[in-house]
Amino acid sequence: MLGRLTVTETRANRFGGRWVTAVLILALEFAGCATQGTAGQASPVSFQGTVVDAQSGVPIEGVTVVLCAEAAERPIAFENVLSPCATELASTFTDRSGSFRMARDPGDQIPPGANIVFRSAGYLPLALPPATLRSGGGSSNRVTLRSAPTVEVTVVNADGAPVRNAGLGWFVEEKAGAIRARYQACCSSAEGRISFGLDGVPEGRVTLFSTTGSQTPRFGTNTIATHSGGRYSVILRVAQPLQQLRGRVVDVDGSPLAAVVSVEPAEANALTGLDRVLLEVRGTDTDLAGNFEFRIASPARVVLHLSTWVGLATGAAHVRLTPLAEVASQFGLDPKPVILKAPAVPVVCCTMLGPNNARLAVAELGLFFAPHRTYGHSGSCVWVGGPAGADEDSQRTFPQEVRFIWPSGSETLVVTARSTAVVPGAKDASESQSFSGEVALKRPADACQIRGM
């Protein structure tokens, strides 16, 4: 089991609002202001205070204040700049005077280990136990935020020339194998410059890294010591080649399958901190045609695990993965493609039709595990092949036929698809039209033919 990895990621917008630029958006539950209890009723439990700048003492307006439940320990978890915890119990913002007030019903339990987390652009995040901010402290509940370090990076190649469109990230290695990290896939300027300005970087020993996505992908790192409010200029030389591992998932007949492929080290300490961050950034989805490719810094020996989705009809965890196969492999500079073969299982084959019943290239395919398609659960449970925009190298395959393993466990499988096609008679590909549609399936044999509208 690897240590805990916490990542914030920046990528392009994705269909259906599942992801937006800069962060993974989680719904915020805004708690109303506390009201005076009446006879026979308990008053709501409330938390209040004033947030100020640690150096100037000036109140800070617009600070995000979130009551976070303690997240379950997982090998990998996402941190979010706008939504700083996996499970939010309540949230609010500070007003012009830097004040906040957040209420909870008396019957709502606050789990042990919960924290109130404060975040604001340009400041280091802060987590405090709820008991320290209970109502009654009034203005004495004073919360001070310290300025975050800011870094401007110039990315250059081995010859010192600036690199355009490079990705940039940072990570901090902590105790017990834990890692905090952030990555933005795009983009350095024509002068090779990119910065962590508004959100800053942590205080302490921080490793900055950059990657390029070309036929010969490369990376570079630079470790610096940062302090609150400090401003740093760093040169990152992307001169070292990234090790690669690529392949395809197929069924027993050799036809492609979109699925999930994860990477685990074959031996202890086979993966460096940077390797783990790069794997997390890449994700585990194949593309729609079953292709996968991973890039890390080390020529590590690993085990590839093939899995698929199972829909859960009830409960908050509405989807899980079930393992299918595994194979040993190794990262290299020019590796031979790996074929991951799934066992004999029911397979769904989906197509999308446009005007005149012409087949359309599928750009995105989502699955709803009904009955979860209800109020409070919007969007797809799963994006087959990953959401559009997931591939930083822009080499995503858009097939006219998408095949995946039937995800058992739900009463109805709702498949939704999107396609973008060039308008007939258009002068070039810039004149395109979008199509979307869906179909409900009860069994694998049902026809998955989606009419694009």
Q: What is the pLDDT of residues 14-43, one digit of tens each?
A: 323 322 223 322 222 222 223 333 444 445
Do 140 and 38 share a structural domain? Answer: yes
**What's the average model confidence in pLDDT over 1-25?**
37
Judge whether residue 168 has pLDDT over 60.
yes
End-of-domain residue from the set 307, 341, 375: 341
End-of-domain residue from the set 241, 264, 288: 241
| Tally of structural domains, the chain | 4
Of the segments 96-105, 233-242, 397-406, 410-419, which one has the largest average pLDDT value?
Answer: 233-242
Predicted confidence at residue 78, as pLDDT, reads 38
**What's the average model confidence in pLDDT over 321-344?**
94
User: Domain range spanning residue 133?
Assistant: 5-145
Predicted confidence at residue 65, as pLDDT, reads 92
Count Cα neighbours of 182 within 13 Å in the Cβ-side half-sphere: 16
Predicted confidence at residue 3, as pLDDT, reads 46
Do 18 and 28 share a structural domain? Answer: yes
In the sheet with 432-441, reading across from the earlier edge strand, the strands are 382-384, 364-370, 412-422, 432-441
| Helix, strand, coil fractions of the chain, as percent rounded to 5 | 5, 45, 50
CA distance linking residue 433 with residue 452, whole number of Å: 11
Judge whether residue 135 has pLDDT over 90.
no
Listed range (143-152, 211-220, 397-406) with the worst mean pLDDT: 211-220
Do 318 and 287 share a structural domain? Answer: yes
Instruction: Work out the pLDDT band at 127, boundaries 50, 70, 90.
Output: confident
End-of-domain residue from the set 290, 306, 341: 341
In sequence order, the 6+-apart residues with CB closer than 8 A to the CB of 251 are 257, 341, 342, 344, 345, 347, 403
Do 138 and 20 share a structural domain? Answer: yes
Listed range (294-308, 343-357, 389-403) with the worst mean pLDDT: 389-403
Do 385 and 306 share a structural domain? Answer: no
DSSP letter for 282, please: H
- Is pTM beyond 0.75? Reply is yes
Residue 375, class by beta-carbon neighbours within 10 Å (0-12 exposed, 13-18 middle, 19+ buried)?
exposed
Instruction: Work out the pLDDT band at 350, boundaries 50, 70, 90.
Output: very high
Do 155 and 135 share a structural domain? Answer: no
Judge whether residue 10 has pLDDT over 50.
no
Judge whether residue 262 has pLDDT over 60.
yes
